[in-house]
């Protein structure tokens, strides 16, 4: 393992009635990034939140804001999310017709640039943008649908992406069904960041969130 794996709690699993407090709590509990699942009701069937919410909670944490744009037309929104406080902006390969240009734009804004792949999307689409990437987000469930289990075939996909990256300093983040039971396989395959929702946001206190984050770290320590 190159470095300690980054833990990125997804605020979709937080209590939105006390969202700012929840973000403070996971910050104090020791998370590395804060994962922001932006859904538009078009690319995926659900609607979540947008720039006003991100802007409102940006002041409560200095941790990396990791914005995952599950939206149909990301290019028109990049500056808006940067201005709202995103540090990483990840777009989906499936809706980015000019991916090289989009990634370059994200970097020009001063953010880290990521590409997300749905489970059925071949990793080959990354080959010609490898030097534009700071992060690859591998979806290990189908985005926008609840109650899904981790898709085991994504482990091999992660391995192939790590091989394709050929030593580049690019994070591989995995999102979907991540628990202390599934984390070891994805980290052994080459993942460096783990998105976790309910696996972190259970217990409702800083102490429980800290315990949950440590359980994820312990499950992959030494890999």
Name the residues annotated as catalytic: 37, 175
Residues 204/212, Cβ–Cβ less than 8 Å: no
Which residues 6+ apart lie within 8 Å of 172 measured at CB? 135, 136, 138, 158, 161, 162, 165, 190, 191, 192, 193
Residues 78/89, Cβ–Cβ less than 8 Å: yes
Cα separation, 59 vs 148, whole angstroms: 32
Cα separation, 31 vs 25, whole angstroms: 9
Nearest to 217 by CA among 177, 183, 190: 183
Residues 46/55, Cβ–Cβ less than 8 Å: no
Residues 122/143, Cβ–Cβ less than 8 Å: no
For 85, half-sphere exposure in the C-beta direction (CA atoms, 13 angstrom radius) is: 20
What are the backbone dihedrals phi and psi of residue 194, each rounded to the nearest 5 degrees, phi first? Answer: -125, 125
137: burial class by Cβ within 10 Å (0-12, 13-18, 19+)?
buried
């Amino acid at each position: 393992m190159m470095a300690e794996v980054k833990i990125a709690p997804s605020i979709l699993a937080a209590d939105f009635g006390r969202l700012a407090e929840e973000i403070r709590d996971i910050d104090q509990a020791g998370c590395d990034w804060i994962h922001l699942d932006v859904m538009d009701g078009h690319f995926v069937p659900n609607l979540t939140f947008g720039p006003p919410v991100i802007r409102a909670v940006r002041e409560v944490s200095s941790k990396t804001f990791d914005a995952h744009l599950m939206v149909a037309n990301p290019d028109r929104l990049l500056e808006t999310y940067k201005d709202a406080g995103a540090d990483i902006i990840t777009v989906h390969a499936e809706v980015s017709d000019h991916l090289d240009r989009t990634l370059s734009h994200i970097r020009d804004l001063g953010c880290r640039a990521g590409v997300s792949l749905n489970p059925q999307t071949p990793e080959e689409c990354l080959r010609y943008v490898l030097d534009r990437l700071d992060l690859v987000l591998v979806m290990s469930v189908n985005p926008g649908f609840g109650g899904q289990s981790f898709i085991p075939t994504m482990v091999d996909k992660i391995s192939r992406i790590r091989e394709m990256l050929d030593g580049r300093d690019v994070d591989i983040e995995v999102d979907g069904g991540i628990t202390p039971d599934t984390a070891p396989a994805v980290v052994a395959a080459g993942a460096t960041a783990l998105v976790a929702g309910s696996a972190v946001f259970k217990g409702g206190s800083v102490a429980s969130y800290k315990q949950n984050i440590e359980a994820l770290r312990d499950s992959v320590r030494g890999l």
